[in-house]
Each structure stands twice: as C-alpha cells, then as structure tokens.
C-alpha cells in the first residue's frame, strides 16, 4: 500500500548529537595516573591485568583514597562501608588497603567473602566470628574481614553481624561493600564509616585508557576512547571490557574507531538517533513506524538503548515545557516497561506514539498562536 505523505514543515528539529551538550563529568582535577603494570599474563582480561595494586594507582577518588591512606598510616582504620555503582574501584580499594596493611602476610589476616560464598546467619556466627576473635600467629595488629556485595546478605545475617562487629572490634576491622546502601540495615551503617564511590571522572578515565591502549599496543583514535568512556558512564570495568573486545574485533583492520565501538557494543550511533527522531517527529505515523522499525532491526538496536538516547537528546530539544514534560514522563514509563521485557514492538510503537502526540501538540499551539495574531 502506498502511503500518502503529508507535507508539514518539520515541527521539531532534533538536536544533532554533536550539538547536544556532552554529559558533564563530576569536577575534579585530572590526576597523572601511574603507568599500568607492564607485566602480567597476556591471557588475563584487562580488568584483572590492570586492577590497581596500590591505593595510589586508583584514579578519580582522590579524597576517599587520601582519607583512607591517612587512617591506615595513623593506625586508626575504622569499620568501613564502601558503596556506589559498579566498576568504580570499591573492591580494588579494599584489596589495595589490605596489601598496604599486611604486605605478604595477607593470607592469615584477611577473610574475604563475596556473593559466591555462603553468607547466611550460620556463616556469620561461625566462620566470621571465629576468624574475627582469634589471633594470627606471628602477625601484630587487627585482622580484616571483607564482606563484598554485602547488599545480598540476608537480614538475619546482617542483624547477627551487628553484634559480631561490636564484640570483635578490638581484634578485627570489617569492610562492607555494596552497590545499594539502602539494602544495608541502619544499625550496620551506623557502625561503619561510609564512603560513596561515585561514577569515575571522565577525564581521568580517558587518561588511564590512553595509557592502557599504549601499553597493549592498541591503535585507537581519541574519538573512540571518548566514545567508550561516555558509553561506560564512569564504570571503568565496562571501559576496559569494551576496549579489549573492540581491539580483538578490529584485528588486522588497524585503528579502532568510534564507529567500531558502536558496532561492537551494539549501542545506537548518534546519527541513527538523529534519523529516528527526524522520522518520528516529522513523518506521519505509518511511514515513521515503517522507517524506524526497519532501521532498528537492520542495526540490531535495543529498545532500552533507543529510549535512553532519545530521552537524553530530548532534554535539549526546544519544545514547549508542558509538551516536553509529557514526553519525558511517558518515555520513562516505556523504559520501565522495556526493562521488564514487555514486547519490543509494542513499546517501540509507544515511543513513536509519544513523539507524534508531541508533534500534534506543537502544531496545535502554533495554529492557536497564529489565530490570535490574525484576530
């Protein structure tokens, strides 16, 4: 069936990606990071090969690292609660602390439990308590209990830990690590000094990425590095994994480019988002759906990514405030539905419907304004 295309002038000009203000990283002075270790097995994934060995190797969290270093130097380390989004250096920080505290005596002095270990109430009562109350032969000072991914611990286990922490403070320090601090009971939170590991500073991550690319002899353009960094949103683990996989994919093809990063990660290219927005806002529904769906399937774009990118772009589009509020509100519902795995096609049509409604409102408002002028 031939679709008749109405000829209204473009209602809303989507902001091209290069004109949209780039996300502002948190302000902090970029630090000259030490070169990553040149040695290490070539089979190791970059995330392990370049895991910071010492506190000074960590980038971006200067204040936290400075405070923890001082506390260790003055032998006044409190119980710690490190929390924040993934890939920001929480586990690396406490491992570097343990290394600074114990050097090669690490083994008998540190108990590290993470989500893959059983950490129910029995383990807290027996394993953790026994470790924290006994002294290691020939090593002075307190022991360290690291409870990584502590937000996955059951409530009874957390309640039991409360008493253990209090009873064993003379002999052990506890470090709880988690992504969601709200899942740690208040009584445990108040026994610890809390440090929030926010997303890493983009400039510092870029610096580290350049060093790692150089150490690994990966030819990569500066644009490709900034693309990786902005897609990772302050998660260094994500950056390193994308760097390693794009470098592998580029193989003999030479330099890693920003386009290759989008291909490897499957994230929508900014030009694709511009095209989608143009169609959604300026074509009639049937034609727009046909064009957008075709592009989405041809490029294998995930609905969630499309919704996220459109949302980011819309924040900078010149739209009447109430129209913009409606669009953003409905987009958030679609993104929520998409995260629950509801039908991609239905949700995609939903995005289009939202945009078309916005277009309709803008046209109506323009017609009203024109009517008032002619009166």
Ligand X SMILES: Nc1ncnc2c1ncn2[C@@H]1O[C@H](COP(=O)(O)OP(=O)(O)OP(=O)(O)O)[C@@H](O)[C@H]1O
- Is 256 within 8 Å of 216 (Cβ atoms)? no
Q: Cα dihedral sign for 98, 104, 110, 116?
A: positive
CA distance 351 to 333: 10
Q: Cα dihedral sign for 141, 110, 88, 331?
A: negative
Kindly state the smallest distance separating residue 29's Cβ from ligand X, in Å.
15
List the one residue from 15, 59, 64, 144 that touches ligand X (CB under 6 A).
59
CA distance 354 to 332: 11
List the one residue from 12, 14, 15, 89 that touches ligand X (CB under 6 A).
89
CA distance 260 to 247: 9
| Per-residue CA distances from 327 to 108, 162, 271, 276, 373 (Å) | 57, 46, 21, 16, 28
Kindly state the smallest distance separating residue 102's Cβ from ligand X, in Å.
19
User: 196: helix, coil or strand?
Assistant: strand
**Could you tell which of Mg ion, ligand X, none binds residue 58, using a CB distance below 5 to 8 A set by kind?**
ligand X
Q: Which of residues 222-241 bind ligand X (CB under 6 A)?
A: 236-237, 240
Q: Which two tokens stand for residue 175?
A: 């470090």
Q: CB-wise, 112 or 259, nearer to Mg ion? A: 112
Q: Which of residues 125-184 bind ligand X (CB under 6 A)?
A: 179
CA distance 142 to 205: 34
- Is 175 within 8 Å of 79 (Cβ atoms)? yes
Closest chain position to ligand X (CB): 89
Segment contacting Mg ion by CB under 5 A, of 18-26, 89-97, 130-138, 335-343: 89-97
Q: CB-wise, 78 or 86, nearer to ligand X? A: 86
List the one residue from 46, 60, 88, 91 that touches Mg ion (CB under 5 A).
91
- Build a one-symbol-per-residue string for 190-219: x at contacts with ligand X by CB under 6 A, - elsewhere: -------x--x-------------------
Kindly state the smallest distance separating residue 86's Cβ from Mg ion, in Å.
7
CA distance 187 to 78: 15
Segment contacting ligand X by CB under 6 A, of 46-54, 151-159, 290-298, 311-319: 46-54
Q: Does 93 bind Mg ion (CB under 5 A)?
A: no
List the one residue from 20, 25, 31, 52 that touches ligand X (CB under 6 A).
52
Segment contacting ligand X by CB under 6 A, of 88-96, 132-140, 287-295, 306-314: 88-96
197: nearest Cα among 185, 179, 182: 179
Segment contacting ligand X by CB under 6 A, of 11-19, 53-61, 125-133, 337-345: 53-61
Size of the site for ligand X (CB under 6 A): 21
Size of the site for Mg ion (CB under 5 A): 1
Give the phi and the psi of residue 89 in degrees, each rounded to 5: 105, 15
CA distance 14 to 278: 6
- Between helix 321-339 and helix 344-374 the angle, nearest 10°, is 170
Q: Which two tokens stand for residue 305?
A: 């990514």
Q: Which two tokens stand for residue 31?
A: 């630090």
Q: CB-wise, 145 or 288, nearer to ligand X? A: 145
* Binding stretches for Mg ion (CB under 5 A): 91
* Binding stretches for ligand X (CB under 6 A): 47, 50-52, 58-61, 86-92, 179, 197, 200, 236-237, 240
């Amino acid at each position: 069936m031939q679709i008749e295309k109405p000829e209204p002038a473009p209602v809303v000009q989507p902001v091209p990606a290069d004109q949209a203000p780039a996300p502002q990283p948190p302000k902090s002075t970029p630090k000259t990071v030490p070169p990553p270790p040149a040695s290490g097995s070539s089979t190791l994934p970059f995330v392990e090969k370049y895991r910071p060995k010492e506190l000074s190797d960590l980038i971006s969290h200067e204040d936290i690292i400075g405070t923890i270093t001082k506390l260790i130097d003055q032998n006044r380390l409190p119980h710690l609660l490190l929390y924040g989004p993934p890939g920001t250096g929480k586990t690396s920080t406490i491992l570097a602390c343990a290394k600074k505290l114990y050097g090669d005596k690490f083994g008998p002095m540190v108990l590290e439990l993470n989500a893959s270990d059983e950490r129910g109430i029995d383990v807290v009562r027996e394993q953790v308590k026994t470790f924290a109350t006994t002294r290691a032969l020939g090593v002075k000072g307190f022991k360290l209990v690291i409870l990584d991914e502590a937000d996955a611990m059951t409530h009874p286990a957390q309640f039991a830990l409360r008493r253990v922490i209090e009873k064993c403070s003379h002999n052990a320090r506890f470090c709880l690590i988690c992504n969601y601090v709200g899942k740690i009971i208040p009584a445990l939170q108040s026994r610890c000094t809390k440090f929030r590991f926010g997303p890493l500073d983009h400039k510092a991550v870029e610096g580290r990425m350049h060093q790692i690319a150089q150490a690994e002899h990966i030819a990569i353009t500066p644009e490709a590095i900034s693309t990786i960094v902005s897609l990772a949103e302050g998660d260094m683990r994500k950056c390193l994994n994308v760097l390693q996989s794009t470098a592998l994919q580029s193989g003999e093809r030479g330099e890693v480019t920003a386009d290759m990063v989008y291909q490897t990660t499957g994230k929508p290219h900014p030009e694709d988002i511009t095209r989608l927005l143009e169609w959604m806002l300026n074509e009639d529904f049937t034609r727009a759906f046909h064009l957008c769906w075709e592009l989405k399937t041809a490029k294998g774009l995930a609905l969630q990514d499309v919704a996220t990118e459109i949302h980011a772009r819309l924040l900078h589009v010149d739209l009447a405030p109430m129209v913009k509020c409606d669009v953003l509100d409905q987009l958030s519902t679609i993104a929520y539905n998409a995260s629950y795995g509801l039908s991609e096609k239905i949700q995609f049509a939903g995005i289009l419907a939202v945009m078309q409604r916005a277009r309709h409102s803008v046209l109506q408002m323009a017609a009203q304004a024109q009517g008032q002028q002619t009166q």
